[in-house]
A and B are shown apart, each in its own frame.
Chain A
């Protein structure tokens, strides 16, 4: 075991993206042989911090010392030179190369000729020290995420990494796999590696970390040895904000049920989901990432149809076959992935809004009536206060918040009976967020039934009439507004106190 000492010392790191101060004056010391957990809400600045350490972003202010020497980390290659490597929850492997090759592919010092037998031997011995049994000759394409994760760790070991950053490496692993991963991580620290560990599962953090640091809104809130932190305290540090900071819903009465979901399930993904949403009601869907919230939405929207249970929409049974079918029955789904699934970036503001409803804007001869299209787009522009230079501007030139509102306009224009919002305020600034909340409230008051999937707990609590909590593909509880607390929901979502 190497002598424990500070490996990396970051001081006064700040980073600003446009309107958002992503990181403000954050100082952090990572010691050799220590597992340092980083906690924080969505947007707390964890990603930015990691990206600065791995050379993807440059800080606006602040310095990083590696082993006491100032380090200028400008690229992933620089980071590698300083012994820093990162493992993300989605491993980056070469599916057509075998396990051993994946471990050693980046090594330039190993000569021009690949010595397969030596490589297999070394790969096996690295994996063996990790306690992982993998066929090093097997193609990586057949590996589970856990096995790929192990390969990534082995790669880091082979590169002689001194600081390993693990960004939610457990998100897609089973409990068994997680405990194996932890064994591997502990093994690393025994050899003097510093580990920065990011996870949203508190029980994991408390199981493995030596030190717990909490970020909130880009600032460092607390950083203490694990023994001095309680889960409750960590949660409080993370949540911090008072409910009063949020837009408060106006008082209103929910109407008749619009959507009834009964024992809905999809083999291997989620099961036993039962709920109803009424007119004018907002149903919050809370849970950890991968708990199946989005999968329920995709089933209702006909992207990945359910194979168990039943859905009843407006008194008629519904078996959504395709998004088009679900749309015609009055379901709209605002995807959480704005760039990949939400907007066609080179297309204009107007044509993005009218995309799902194009057939409404045809004149005689079945030609598009662009005046009618623009009229609709203009109406939404004013109603949702969307700032766009013109109706023809490609949406790629709008800001994130305005893109988000454009997406909202696109789905509102389908005049849905049930609107499913998946992380509708993710990655947008505070002002735009408040506007989206106001819009949601207005929609509910006008009688729309809304399902709100959000990882922003204060948001869920502020906006929802009821909150359904999912864990590991199952529904674990429904809280009515008056009974719902952040702590209660977190406890239900994580299945541990």
Chain B
């Protein structure tokens, strides 16, 4: 296999899938590729795609954050509750953003400093922060935000682009640069692949994880505030179930659930695929709930297919010949529920 195909194989596959989805959708509606429709497609899921970008960091780093949707709700609820209590609105927004960051820092402490598995910690977060949101807004719907805030969430800001969409576009580019072009991004990959190697190379693993988990919380909080602005009100069930779409976007994008690999280009493509599939299903008059099921299938396939392909490739590859000299690595998982498959295939180059 040529080098470029090895490096970009998954992204090419995604691009192919995307084109297929687009063709299908255009056949359903000839106006599908209109600029406004494309913008609307994003606008309807803007919070998810923003969080997907930071989720890519978390998963590359070898962790997972199941709590993002609940953190969104929590920080939006802080905003709503403070607003309802008569606090200055700027303060409410600031407090909401801070809430997200603190929620992330809190979970990050357990993961990075205490070494608890992120899966369990953020599962507790998923329940707990949702609960915190409910304590604040109970079963009400709190709205009546200042007009500028609602407009920020709903109306175009520059040209036809809303604030959220601009934020996403700038965000994914900046995120891509950070992930692929900075020392910090490089260290995320190495930690996700093998945190011992990172530690023995002088990288502060715990601090890096803390930063990533905190950022995840902050971005989720930001997405919660955006959601509040777009809907014009906050309820306790805001964003419920979003983690499914968000994690699917990241894994389908070729980020390994085991950490240490994946590209922001892949995540970008997979975001487009997920959005367009949802949109196409909508055009074909499938209910939102049906779309969710399709995303679930996509999530499983995005891990299952590469697994099967690599197993098939290995079987073909094996054939006669000596076993690799120092084959499988075993890493002590230190306890996440995700069983890792460790196979280092060593093709000798001499």
Q: Are chains A and B touching directly in their complex (CB below 8 angstroms)?
A: yes
Q: Is the CB of B40 closer than 8 A to any CB of chain A? A: no
* Among B3, B181, B200, B325, contact of A18 (Cβ-Cβ < 8 Å): B325
Q: Is the CB of A496 closer than 8 A to any CB of chain B? A: no
Asked, given contacts A303-B199, A341-B200, A347-B190, whether A17 binds B344 with beta carbons under 8 Å apart, the answer is no
Contact, CB under 8 Å: B186 / A340: no
Asked, given contacts A355-B186, A368-B186, whether A340 binds B331 with beta carbons under 8 Å apart, the answer is yes
CA distance A19 to B346 in the complex (A): 14
Contact, CB under 8 Å: A396 / B183: no
CA distance A392 to B193 in the complex (A): 17
Asked, given contacts A18-B322, A18-B325, A324-B202, whether A342 binds B350 with beta carbons under 8 Å apart, the answer is no
Q: A residues within 8 A CB of B158?
A: none
CA distance A392 to B3 in the complex (A): 9
Q: B residues within 8 A CB of A333?
A: 200
* Among A17, A303, A399, contact of B322 (Cβ-Cβ < 8 Å): A17
Interface size on B, residues (CB 8 A): 36
Shortest distance between the CB of B28 and any CB in chain A (Å): 40
* Among B193, B196, B326, B349, contact of A387 (Cβ-Cβ < 8 Å): B349
* Among A19, A368, A388, contact of B181 (Cβ-Cβ < 8 Å): A368
Q: Is the CB of B197 closer than 8 A to any CB of chain A? A: yes
* Among B181, B261, B349, contact of A402 (Cβ-Cβ < 8 Å): B349
Contact, CB under 8 Å: A399 / B187: no
Chain B residue with Cβ nearest A414: B202
Chain A residue with Cβ nearest B327: A339
Q: B residues within 8 A CB of A398?
A: 348-349
List CB contacts (< 8 Å) of B174-188 with chain A.
Answer: 177, 181-183, 186-187
Q: Is the CB of A393 closer than 8 A to any CB of chain B? A: yes
Contact, CB under 8 Å: B183 / A362: yes
List CB contacts (< 8 Å) of A384-409 with chain B.
Answer: 387-390, 392-393, 396-400, 402
CA distance A191 to B193 in the complex (A): 49
Contact, CB under 8 Å: B350 / A19: yes
Shortest distance between the CB of B224 and any CB in chain A (Å): 30
CA distance A359 to B201 in the complex (A): 13
Contact, CB under 8 Å: B325 / A356: no
Contact, CB under 8 Å: B202 / A327: yes
Q: B residues within 8 A CB of A343?
A: 197
Contact, CB under 8 Å: A344 / B189: yes
Q: Is the CB of A335 closer than 8 A to any CB of chain B? A: yes
* Among B183, B201, B323, B325, contact of A368 (Cβ-Cβ < 8 Å): B183
Q: A residues within 8 A CB of B349?
A: 387-389, 393, 397-399, 402
Q: A residues within 8 A CB of B344?
A: 339, 345, 396
- Which range contains the number of A residues in contact with the other chain? 35 or more
Q: B residues within 8 A CB of A358?
A: 183, 186-187
Contact, CB under 8 Å: B326 / A339: yes
Shortest distance between the CB of B53 and any CB in chain A (Å): 18
CA distance A399 to B198 in the complex (A): 21
Contact, CB under 8 Å: B203 / A16: no
Asked, given contacts A17-B322, A351-B186, A402-B349, whether A324 binds B203 with beta carbons under 8 Å apart, the answer is yes
Shortest distance between the CB of A464 and any CB in chain B (Å): 24
CA distance A338 to B329 in the complex (A): 11
CA distance A339 to B327 in the complex (A): 10
Q: Is the CB of B345 closer than 8 A to any CB of chain A? A: yes
List CB contacts (< 8 Å) of A294-326 with chain B.
Answer: 303, 322-324, 326
Q: B residues within 8 A CB of A342?
A: 197, 200
Asked, given contacts A367-B177, A427-B326, whether A397 binds B186 with beta carbons under 8 Å apart, the answer is no
CA distance A436 to B211 in the complex (A): 39
Contact, CB under 8 Å: A400 / B202: no
Q: A residues within 8 A CB of B240?
A: none
CA distance A243 to B220 in the complex (A): 65
Q: Is the CB of B232 closer than 8 A to any CB of chain A? A: no
Asked, given contacts A324-B203, A399-B348, whether A340 binds B190 with beta carbons under 8 Å apart, the answer is no
CA distance A57 to B327 in the complex (A): 12
Q: B residues within 8 A CB of A255?
A: none
Contact, CB under 8 Å: B197 / A340: yes
The listed residue with most A CB atoms (<10 A of its CB), out of B193, B196, B197, B322, is B197
CA distance A341 to B329 in the complex (A): 11
CA distance A393 to B261 in the complex (A): 15
Shortest distance between the CB of A391 and any CB in chain B (Å): 11
Chain B residue with Cβ nearest A399: B348
Chain B residue with Cβ nearest A396: B344
* Among B3, B182, B190, B204, contact of A355 (Cβ-Cβ < 8 Å): B190
Q: Is the CB of B260 closer than 8 A to any CB of chain A? A: yes
Contact, CB under 8 Å: B201 / A323: yes
CA distance A368 to B200 in the complex (A): 21
Q: Is the CB of A346 closer than 8 A to any CB of chain B? A: yes
Q: Is the CB of A364 closer than 8 A to any CB of chain B? A: no
Shortest distance between the CB of A393 and any CB in chain B (Å): 7
Chain A residue with Cβ nearest B323: A57
CA distance A137 to B243 in the complex (A): 44
Q: Is the CB of B194 closer than 8 A to any CB of chain A? A: yes
CA distance A433 to B187 in the complex (A): 30
Asked, given contacts A366-B182, A368-B181, A393-B349, whether A322 binds B204 with beta carbons under 8 Å apart, the answer is yes
CA distance A335 to B196 in the complex (A): 11
Contact with A along B321-350 (1 / 0, CB 8 A): 011011001010000000000001111111
CA distance A326 to B199 in the complex (A): 12
Shortest distance between the CB of B346 and any CB in chain A (Å): 6
Shortest distance between the CB of A18 and any CB in chain B (Å): 6
Q: A residues within 8 A CB of B182?
A: 362, 366-368
Q: A residues within 8 A CB of B187?
A: 358
Contact, CB under 8 Å: B194 / A340: yes
Write 19 A-B pairs (CB below 8 A) sorted by A numbering: A16-B322, A18-B325, A19-B350, A57-B323, A323-B199, A323-B202, A324-B202, A327-B202, A339-B344, A340-B196, A342-B200, A343-B197, A346-B261, A367-B181, A387-B349, A392-B3, A396-B344, A399-B349, A402-B349
Residues of A near any B CB (own CB < 8 A)? 16-20, 57, 303, 322-324, 326-327, 333, 335, 338-347, 351, 355-356, 358-359, 361-362, 366-368, 370, 387-390, 392-393, 396-400, 402, 410, 427
In the complex, besides A340-B196, A397-B347, 8 extra interface pairs with C-beta distance below 8 angstroms are A323-B199, A340-B329, A344-B260, A347-B189, A362-B183, A368-B181, A390-B3, A427-B325
Top-4 shortest CB links A-B: A358-B183, A324-B202, A323-B202, A341-B200
